[in-house]
Structure 1
Amino acid sequence: MIDLSRNDTNPQGLRVREFYLGRQPILDRHQALFGYELLFRNAPVGPAHVTDDLSATASVIAHAAQLGMERVVGDALGFVHADADVIMSDIFSFLPREKVVLEVTDAVTLTPAVLQRMTELVGQGFSFALDNVTSDTGHVQALLPLVEYVKMDMRNLPLAELMKLAPRFRQDNKKLVAEKVETRDEFKNCLDLGFDYFQGYYFAKPVIMSGKKLSPSQLAVMELMTLVTSDADNLEIERAIKRDVSLALNLLRLVNTPAVGARQRIDSLSQAVTILGRRQLQRWLQIMLYAEPSKRGHSMTPLLMLATTRGRLLELLASKLRPSHRHAADIAFTVGIMSLMDTLFGIPMADILQQIPVNDEVAEALMFRGGFFGDLLKLAECIERIEEMDDHIIPTLRDLAMSTDELVELEMAAFEWSDNVVRYAL
């Protein structure tokens, strides 16, 4: 067995942090967050590629463990690729078995030693997923007894084939994961076929409904945001909050999250308005727009998670890249969190910007991905869709004069912050 217990470097000299990280949500049938697939990429001079080889994967896992897997996945599960070399290695001492699902493909070399090692790991409490399944071959049959999840790629499988395979694997009590679900029709088809989990960004795509109006609770938050960004005095803002009891209670709960970092508990609305200040109060109201619909169910949870992660990542990027620009971080946060409001409201972004007054830089970023803040938003979107857009990340980082090391550290911080916010917001 290959000993990687001291995995500071690898035979090729790959530094532990020469990678960047994508985190793609996996949702359950109610569209609540279940897990994340963690996608790692090398940061080479040439085209980016998946770090499936042993040394790179081990380096990444060692670093993720060092940072703390909870920072990456929060309360969810982390799905991590593992080839035959990884399975035969000693990297598993780095991994919290209750938080990790190891993904193998049906292309993994099935030697007796690999099967025995997988059996040992299952006995130790690790879970396996069989990834990119396209048929029911003998190879797949040999792996099925050892795996808990079967993943099928919606891009690679026609509906007719899915209709044959899904019932077959359900007979063996396997949990089915649909990958690359990009439309709500695909989501519905997979629901009907009995899939348990769904991976893809169908939930983040706007479904524009003509003539749609904001809900009363959303209107209340929007009106309050207008007061906060205007010259209204604190007493007027406090009175407006008090007119909506649920709004007041939700705001108090949100501003007492660890993510705010207040030194004392905030027990009153006047305290919230005074201690937080206008910019911080505006931030929590923006988050509440996403949190409010989730009171009616879990369907907005992933959108809330994605929006808060984007907002925080853009804020951290702007703080690092423009430290002397006083308001750059606040503008960046607003761009990140507003970038999904067309999906949230089912209204075109142009119409939203007529209702929410923003400056030209924010409008340019949201409408056209233009300017400095548009570049930051494009970077965040590329990271979210790392499989299709990873070749854009390195050039963008180069333009921003930022290293992959720095990007991963900021991503980890954004993941952790977002997880804290969502945990308290729902």
Structure 2
Amino acid sequence: MSPVESPAYLARQPILDSHQGIFAYELLFRDSPDNKTALIRNGVRETAQVLENVLNNFGLSRLVGNHKAFINCSREMLLDNIFSPLDSDRFVLEILESVDADDTVVSVVKKYHERGYEFALDDVIFDAENLKRLEPFFPYVKYVKLDLIENSAEALKAAVPYFKERGMVLLAEKVETEEDFTARLEDGYDLFQGFFFAKPEIVRGKRMDGSLATILRLLQFLRGDPSLADIEKTFLEHPAVAKALVQYANSQKTFRRRPVESIQDAIAWLSVPHIQDWLMLLLYAQPEMGGSTQGKPLFQNVSQRARFLEALADVLDPDGCLPAQAFITGIVSRMDALVKAPMPTILEDLDVDKEITSALLHGSGKLGTLLALAEAVENDREERIGTLMKRLSLSNKDLTASLNAAYGWNHG
């Protein structure tokens, strides 16, 4: 990889606090979807250039907002002093489980610590042998990540007083269900990483309000690049939404001299992307979504996933209907988590395209493969990413550009 190229992909995984708010993000860099190691694996100068390019291309604030960024580091990366240019207030250096605490590495960690950097230990197995191996790192470590799959429930519970007595913050990773989250919260864990919030408790038989279906249909309609006349006609078929759009247009400070009186005026004043953004806000303001959806990691994931799928679909079918369908697929794919209703019930109420229904229920078709790719990227499953990209004939460049577009949707 030359210094001017972007990495094959950059993804992020949220790290949540006990209230399920975002505490930080782990940034995941890879130079190939098939690569099982971190992106940073070459010479120190090239590595520095790649990391700098990643941050300049995406922008740290655009990636993580005001939150911290956890980034994996190997022995070579630590010894190469590759992280010196990074802001110690923003980055947490995550020592991989493969790094041994020999005198050389511990000396470097100590120097970084003295300069204000925070450290985390990754994938800690709570047993006597492993703790003895890692103990030289303990004076410099603030966060300890324990894998729920690799540790027993007894070990996970016993780890809490052991590490808290040493002033460390406990982070449970691979938290996949609400039960996992609740159990570790009761144990005393402080932070949580995983997609447990995407697997909600299902409330059987819950129905969706008709306005949700209307908003989704309007969003898909607008993604299809309709004419202004068709937009006006379609909005007039939904008087309540049309009235709300006129009210919204009048609330904008840029509309001066005369009020906006008709849906035609509102469409003329507002660009189509502006109307789409407004519909997204309207969608998540619906009562079914709960009181504080916009502050939840799942809300951000839905927006990013929808835009990511649309961007990928635009590569595959730039002049067809696939991008609009992919966008709606991304939104609806997490609707069961947001409204706590089973997916078949949601799809019945929404009356979406049969291709979208097949993708969401059975993973079928091109939409199903795109959705599987989005899930693989979110979960950092490198081998599956490579397999799905080959199936879709997508390049690393396509993947990077689509992720960049998705981050721009959330932060731009």
TM over 0.5: same fold?
yes
Q: Does 1:365 align with 2:365?
A: no
Match of 1:41 in 2: 30
Residue 87 of structure 1, aligned match among 78, 84, 92: 78
Match of 2:87 in 1: 96
Verify the 8 A CA contact 1:205 1:343 in the aligned structure 2.
yes
Identity value in percent: 32
Match of 1:61 in 2: 51
Q: Which amino acid in the other structure matches residue 77 of structure 1?
A: K
For 1:87 and 1:361, the matched residues in 2 are separated by: 48
What is the correspondence of 1:121-200 to structure 2 with a 5 Å cutoff?
A: 121-135=112-126, 137-200=131-194
TM-aligned CA deviation for residue 276 of structure 1: 5.1
Q: Which amino acid in the other structure matches residue 30 of structure 1?
A: H
Change (3 A) 1:139 1:346: same
| Number of aligned positions between the proteins | 390
Q: Does 1:115 align with 2:106?
A: yes
Match of 1:12 in 2: none
Match of 1:395 in 2: 387
Verify the 8 A CA contact 2:236 2:242 in the aligned structure 1.
no
Verify the 8 A CA contact 2:160 2:189 in the aligned structure 1.
yes
Q: Does 1:377 align with 2:371?
A: yes
Verify the 8 A CA contact 1:283 1:334 in the aligned structure 2.
no
For 1:361 and 1:340, the matched residues in 2 are separated by: 17
Change (3 A) 1:98 1:365: same
Verify the 8 A CA contact 2:284 2:294 in the aligned structure 1.
no
For 2:297 and 2:188, the matched residues in 1 are separated by: 21
Deviations 1:45-90 (A, max 9, x none): xx53122763286565233123122333233322111122211223
Residue 51 of structure 1, aligned match among 24, 29, 38: 38
Structure 1 runs not aligned, ≥5 long:
1-6, 10-14, 257-262, 421-426
Q: Any idea what SS the aligned residue of 1:166 has?
A: helix
Q: Does 1:314 align with 2:303?
A: no
Residue 333 of structure 1, aligned match among 327, 336, 343: 327
For 2:269 and 2:249, the matched residues in 1 are separated by: 12
Q: CA RMSD in A?
A: 3.5
For 1:116 and 1:196, the matched residues in 2 are separated by: 28
Q: Does 1:407 align with 2:402?
A: no
For 2:215 and 2:409, the matched residues in 1 are separated by: 24
Q: Does 1:32 align with 2:24?
A: no
For 1:291 and 1:159, the matched residues in 2 are separated by: 38
For 1:346 and 1:227, the matched residues in 2 are separated by: 23
Deviations 1:257-309 (A, max 9, x none): xxxxxx96799695655555789746743554445567634696111111111
Structure 2 runs not aligned, ≥5 long:
222-230
| Deviation larger for 163-172 or 227-236 | 227-236
Deviations 1:173-192 (A, max 9, x none): 21111000011111001111
For 1:272 and 1:119, the matched residues in 2 are separated by: 60
How high is the TM-score relative to the length of structure 1?
0.79
TM-aligned CA deviation for residue 143 of structure 1: 1.2
Residue 297 of structure 2, aligned match among 297, 302, 315: 302
